């Protein structure tokens, strides 16, 4: 079955929870230390979609990847910056899904009017670093021993990409709850889906 890239909904909460849980309980990928409940995942989806994209890749009713953006830091001058996150379900790597999802997300964010995207990578993680390099991201900062989890201290690298030209007087970004009604939003999702040309 072909893979379809679309906007997430509350109905995706349980499948997203299943993909995310190992990153909390078994890996240092996420710095959360307790797996959130499905209801909490649903709340996060709804809260995110008010302002930022939250996107899933679905194949034959199964969520195989999800990606979303959130605010980088709280001060008003950071209004144009976002932190982005992608997860691909085990067994679905190497098919271009992550690339298509990041393409969709960064294009949506640029169209909304956001300027910079940042991704936090717990290192070592050569695969993630190579992926972000291939997507045009650059290492912006290193935070040695930034967090303690699973009995060890973990270093985090911050990777950055400028999403669009920087205007002298930027307008506030368009909230995603508004932007999702624009024809451009669906066009971006369809074009990202078309990147999955290998039958996914």
Is residue 158 domain-resident?
yes
Going by the DSSP 8-state scheme, the letter that residue 122 receives in this structure is E
Is residue 63 domain-resident?
yes
What pLDDT does residue 2 have?
Answer: 87
- 54: nearest Cα among 100, 16, 8: 8
Is residue 200 domain-resident?
no
Is residue 13 domain-resident?
yes
* Alpha carbon distance 142, 158 (integer Å): 6
Tell me if the bond preceding 105 is cis, omega within 30° of 0: no
Structural domain of residue 188, as residue ranges? 3-173+182-194
Q: How far apart are the first and last CA of the chain?
A: 7
Per-residue pLDDT of the chain in tens (200 residues, 90 and over written 9):
689 999 999 999 999 999 999 999 999 999 999 999 999 999 999 999 999 999 999 999 999 999 999 999 999 999 999 999 999 998 776 679 999 999 999 999 999 999 999 999 999 999 999 999 999 999 999 999 999 999 999 999 999 999 999 999 999 999 999 999 999 999 999 999 999 865 44
Is residue 199 domain-resident?
no
Domain count, the chain: 1
b/e 61-83 (16+ beta carbons within 10 angstroms → b): eebbbbbbbeebeeeeeebbbbb
* Alpha carbon distance 4, 86 (integer Å): 16
Is residue 115 domain-resident?
yes
Is residue 164 domain-resident?
yes
What pLDDT does residue 200 have?
Answer: 44
- 12: nearest Cα among 34, 45, 48: 45
Is residue 68 domain-resident?
yes
- 7: nearest Cα among 76, 87, 66, 77: 66
The CATH number of residue 37's host domain is 3.40.630.30
What pLDDT does residue 197 have?
Answer: 61
């Amino acid at each position: 079955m072909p893979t379809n890239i679309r906007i997430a909904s509350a109905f995706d909460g349980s499948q997203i929870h299943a993909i995310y849980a190992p990153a909390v309980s078994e890996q240092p990928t996420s710095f959360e230390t307790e797996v959130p409940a499905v209801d909490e995942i649903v709340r996060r989806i709804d809260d995110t979609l008010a302002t930022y994209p939250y996107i899933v890749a679905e194949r034959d009713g199964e969520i195989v990847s999800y990606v979303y953006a959130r605010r980088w830091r709280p001060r008003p001058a950071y209004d144009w910056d976002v932190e982005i996150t992608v997860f691909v379900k085990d067994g679905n790597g190497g098919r271009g899904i992550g690339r298509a999802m990041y393409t969709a997300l960064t294009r949506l964010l640029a169209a909304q009017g956001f300027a910079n995207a940042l991704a936090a990578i717990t290192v070592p993680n050569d695969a993630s670093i190579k992926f972000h390099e291939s997507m045009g991201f650059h290492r912006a900062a290193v935070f040695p021993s930034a967090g303690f989890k699973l009995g060890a201290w973990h270093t985090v690298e911050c990777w950055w990409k400028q999403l669009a030209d920087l205007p002298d007087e930027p307008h506030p970004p368009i909230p995603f709850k508004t932007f999702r009604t624009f024809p451009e939003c669906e066009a971006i999702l369809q074009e990202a889906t078309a990147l999955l040309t290998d039958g996914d």
